[in-house]
């Protein structure tokens, strides 16, 4: 195991950090105050090679999978709201990449970013009132009508909702089948019946637009069904005949994407820690430097340790995801859970350290504190992460116990002169 970063990783991390410091930080307060979309920063991200298809390709070349989490952490260090405005399109792109045919991926993923100087954005619309954690209860329907799908429903809390060029909408084609009766559809901007509902006024990440997406008799061509008709029919047939389906695939996909969300939370916590260290430097209380006071040292040590613990979980999960190591013990969810909790706890502890002035509306810690909260609430709440982790832990333990029992049975059979498969392998291994 080698914990040192490569030259390329270090250079990419430094480039992201410079963008966060020089471009994002100066724009952060205005977009936070106005809840405005930071188009000019998104454009500059493109110029810095930090937005778009080429960036995706670059990240795909990293065999350790760390460039993605470094990017998320550094940009969220700059401003979490702007960072989400820059990167929310990736949710839509990931939805297309995980469900679409190669032709659909080639056609629609570029539409989530735009090419050349053109900036486009995407939205991934799943959540509805009463169906977020409980995703099987979605009520948005998609019904086939000749050569078209007709979609009806209202999505809530959608990042880039109402302004996206491409919406990936998850709808039910057979409500009785729960999540197995659902499919994803491309609904491009300008489709008749597609509109923006209520734009939310939020506590944090205010530079990222969150709004309802309303679909009223929205008609899209048949080829806008991601994965295509044959795949959907096979999936529905499996569900109707009680065969096992793709629930575990969805869980596996979430395990791979959650470290990115964890890294985002980590960026906010690191920003709060860095700001506090700067603030402490040179400050004294009754003639003693604040950094030498034990009450201060206790907090700094705990924050630094928690940050590193969360980062190690995030990097491990990112590495496992990239290298195809199954996260059967919930390692992806652990990374998001820990980083989200650390972000909320650390921003609170650092505010307490600095005192009441940190609660004023133009104070950096006040913004980090507001931005941190959402990481315990979206992309799977902290409670849901805990459910996922504990279920995966129990399943994983049962699998290991079953494996161990099998080996013991084989050994017992071998001792009785009937050499089982596992024992044969053990004997062959020992002989070689």
Piece of 71-79, 119-127, 258-266, 277-285 that binds ligand FAD (CB under 6 A): 119-127
Please identify which residue in the block is written with the tokens 């990112």.
318
91 phi and psi angles, rounded to 5 deg: -65, -45
Q: Is 98 in the site for ligand FAD (CB under 6 A)?
A: no
How far is the C-alpha of 185 from the C-alpha of 225, rounded, in Å?
Answer: 5
Between 24 and 126, CB nearer to ligand FAD: 126
Piece of 67-75, 218-226, 253-261, 378-386 that binds ligand FAD (CB under 6 A): 378-386
Q: Is 124 in the site for ligand FAD (CB under 6 A)?
A: yes
Between 48 and 378, CB nearer to ligand FAD: 378
Q: Is 166 in the site for ligand FAD (CB under 6 A)?
A: no
Query: Which DSSP state fits 219?
Result: E
Percentages helix, strand, coil for the chain (3-state, rounded to 5) are 60, 15, 25
CB 147 within 8 A of CB 221: yes
Q: Is 381 in the site for ligand FAD (CB under 6 A)?
A: yes
Between 127 and 264, CB nearer to ligand FAD: 127
Q: Is 126 in the site for ligand FAD (CB under 6 A)?
A: yes
Among 95, 114, 132, 364, binds ligand FAD (CB under 6 A): 132
Between 105 and 382, CB nearer to ligand FAD: 382
Piece of 120-128, 172-180, 331-339, 421-429 that binds ligand FAD (CB under 6 A): 120-128
Between 394 and 427, CB nearer to ligand FAD: 394
Piece of 364-372, 376-384, 396-404, 419-427 that binds ligand FAD (CB under 6 A): 376-384
CB 69 within 8 A of CB 260: yes
Piece of 212-220, 255-263, 338-346, 374-382 that binds ligand FAD (CB under 6 A): 374-382
Among 89, 99, 104, 127, binds ligand FAD (CB under 6 A): 127
Binding mask 308-337 for ligand FAD (x = CB under 6 A): ------------------------------
What DSSP assignment string belongs to 234-279? HHHHHHHTT---SHHHHHHHHHHHHHHHHHHHHHHHHHHHHHHHHH
Residue 283: how many CA atoms within 13 Å on its side-chain side? 13
Q: Is 209 in the site for ligand FAD (CB under 6 A)?
A: no
Nearest approach in angstroms of CB 180 to ligand FAD is 18
Please identify which residue in the block is written with the tokens 């992201």.
16
Binding mask 264-303 for ligand FAD (x = CB under 6 A): ----------------------------------------
Burial level of 370, CB count in 10 A (0-12/13-18/19+)?
Answer: buried
CB 198 within 8 A of CB 211: yes
Nearest approach in angstroms of CB 384 to ligand FAD is 5
Between 210 and 276, CB nearer to ligand FAD: 210
Among 87, 379, 388, 410, binds ligand FAD (CB under 6 A): 379
Q: Is 259 in the site for ligand FAD (CB under 6 A)?
A: no
Residue of 135, 351, 84, 150 lying closest to 251 (CA atoms): 135
The residues in 174-193 that bind ligand FAD, with binding defined as CB under 6 A, are: none
Cα 122 to Cα 55, 216, 220, 244: the distances in Å are 16, 20, 17, 32
Among 48, 279, 345, 378, binds ligand FAD (CB under 6 A): 378
CB 51 within 8 A of CB 386: no
Please identify which residue in the block is written with the tokens 């044959």.
230
Those residues with Cβ within 8 angstroms of residue 424's Cβ, 6 or more apart along the chain or in another chain: 414
Among 24, 72, 85, 158, binds ligand FAD (CB under 6 A): 158
CB 214 within 8 A of CB 195: yes
The residues in 66-95 that bind ligand FAD, with binding defined as CB under 6 A, are: 91
Question: Backbone dihedral region of 228: left (phi > 0), alpha (psi from -120 to 50 degrees) or beta?
Answer: left
Contacts to ligand FAD by CB under 6 A: 91, 124-127, 132-134, 157-159, 202, 210, 374, 377-381, 383-384, 387
């Amino acid at each position: 195991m080698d914990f040192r970063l490569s030259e390329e990783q270090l250079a990419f991390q430094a480039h992201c950090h410079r963008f966060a410091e020089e471009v994002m930080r100066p724009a952060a307060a205005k977009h936070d105050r106005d809840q405005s979309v930071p188009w000019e920063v998104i454009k500059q991200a493109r110029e810095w090679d930090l937005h778009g298809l080429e960036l995706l390709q670059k990240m795909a070349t990293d065999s350790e999978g760390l460039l993605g989490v470094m990017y998320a952490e550094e940009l969220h260090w700059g401003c979490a709201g702007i960072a989400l405005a820059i990167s929310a399109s990736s949710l839509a792109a990931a939805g297309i990449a995980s469900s679409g045919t190669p032709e659909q991926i080639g056609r629609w993923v570029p539409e989530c970013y735009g090419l050349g100087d053109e900036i486009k954005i995407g939205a991934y619309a799943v959540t509805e009132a009463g169906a977020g954690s409980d995703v099987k209860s979605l009520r948005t329907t998609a019904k086939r009508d000749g050569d078209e799908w007709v979609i009806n429903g209202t999505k809530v809390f959608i990042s880039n909702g109402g302004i996206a060029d491409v919406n990936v909408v998850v709808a039910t084609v057979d409500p009785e089948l729960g999540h197995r009766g659902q499919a994803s559809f491309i609904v491009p901007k300008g489709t008749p019946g597609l509109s923006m509902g209520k734009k939310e006024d939020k506590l944090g990440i205010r530079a990222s637009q969150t709004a309802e997406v309303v679909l009223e008799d929205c008609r899209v061509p048949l080829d806008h069904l991601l994965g295509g008709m044959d795949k959907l029919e096979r999936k529905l047939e499996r569900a109707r005949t009680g065969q096992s389906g793709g629930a575990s695939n969805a869980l596996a996909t979430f395990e791979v994407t959650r470290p990115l969300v964890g890294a985002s939370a980590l960026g906010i916590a690191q920003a709060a820690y860095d700001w506090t260290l700067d603030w402490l430097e040179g400050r004294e209380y009754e003639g003693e430097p604040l950094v030498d006071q034990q009450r201060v040292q206790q907090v700094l040590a705990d924050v630094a340790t928690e940050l590193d613990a969360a980062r190690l979980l995030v990097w491990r999960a990112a590495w496992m995801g990239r290298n195809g190591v199954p996260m059967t013990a919930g390692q992806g969810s652990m990374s998001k859970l820990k980083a989200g909790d650390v972000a909320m706890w650390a921003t609170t502890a650092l505010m307490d350290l600095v005192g009441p002035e940190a609660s004023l509306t133009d104070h950096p810690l006040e913004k980090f504190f507001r931005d941190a909260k959402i990481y315990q609430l979206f992309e799977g709440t902290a409670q849901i992460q805990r459910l996922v982790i504990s279920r995966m832990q129990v399943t994983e333990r049962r699998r290991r116990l079953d494996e161990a029992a099998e080996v013991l049975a084989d050994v017992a059979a071998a001792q009785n002169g009937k050499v089982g498969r596992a024992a044969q392998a053990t004997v062959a291994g020992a002989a070689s």
